[in-house]
Amino acid sequence: MRTNARGPVQPRERELADRLHSAAIHLLRRARRSDPLTGATPAQLSALSVLMSGPKTLGDLAAAEQVRAPTISRLAAEMERIGLIRRRVDPGDRRVARVEMTAKGRRVLGKGRELRIADIEGRVRRLDRPEADALERAVGIIEGMLRD
C-alpha cells in the first residue's frame, strides 16, 4: 500500500469518514463512563430514551435499538424488576407486550442525560469561540448527513 507522511493514501472523503467514525466512538466511550452513577446501565438508559416518546411494544423497542428480540426481552425483564418500566399485555392481541416508563424511569433518564451531556459540555466549554462556531456548523452538517 502506498503511504505518505499522513498515513495510507486514500481519498479525502474516506479519510474524513474514518476519522469521523473514530471520533464518534471515542466521544461516546467517554460519555458512557458516567452512566454507572445513574444506577442504570447504558442499554437501559438507551431504552428509556426510546420510551420518552411513549409506550412501545417489545418488538418496536428492539427495532429502535437495532437488536434482536431476546436481547430486548431480557433487558425489559430486568428494567421491570428494578422499576424503570412497567408492562401491560395488549388486550387486543395477547401475544404483544407493551412497555412504558415509570416515574422512576423518567428520573433516571433525566439524570443519565444530565451526566452524559455534562462530560461533553465540559469539553465544549474549553473550546475558543471560532472552534465552537466551527463545531456547531459541523454538527448541523452531520445531522443533515444522517437525515436521509
Partner DNA sequence: TTGCAGTACTTAGCCTTGCTAACTAATATC
Partner DNA sequence: GATATTAGTTAGCAAGGCTAAGTACTGCAA
Q: State the Cα–Cα distance between residues 84 and 81, nearest whole angstrom.
A: 8
- Interface with its own copies includes 100 (CB under 8 A)? no
Site string for DNA, 35-54 (x = CB under 7 A): ------xxxx----------
Candidates 2, 6, 12, 68; binder of DNA (CB under 7 A) is 68
Candidates 8, 59, 83, 110; binder of DNA (CB under 7 A) is 59
Given the rule CB under 8 A, which of 68-76, 80-88, 92-100, 106-114 is the region that contacts its own copies?
A: 106-114
| Range 48-87, binding its own copies (CB under 8 A) | 49, 52-53, 66
Q: Select 100 or 131, whichever has its Cβ closest to its own copies.
A: 131
- Interface with DNA includes 15 (CB under 7 A)? no
Candidates 68, 94, 95, 137; binder of its own copies (CB under 8 A) is 137
| Beta bridge partners of residue 100, listed in sequence order | 86
Q: State the Cα–Cα distance between residues 13 and 33, nearest whole angstrom.
A: 31
Q: State the Cα–Cα distance between residues 16 and 32, nearest whole angstrom.
A: 24
103 with 84: CB under 8 angstroms? no
20 with 34: CB under 8 angstroms? no
49 with 55: CB under 8 angstroms? no
Q: State the Cα–Cα distance between residues 124 and 34, nearest whole angstrom.
A: 17
- Interface with DNA includes 143 (CB under 7 A)? no
Binding stretches for DNA (CB under 7 A): 41-44, 57-59, 62, 65-78, 92-98
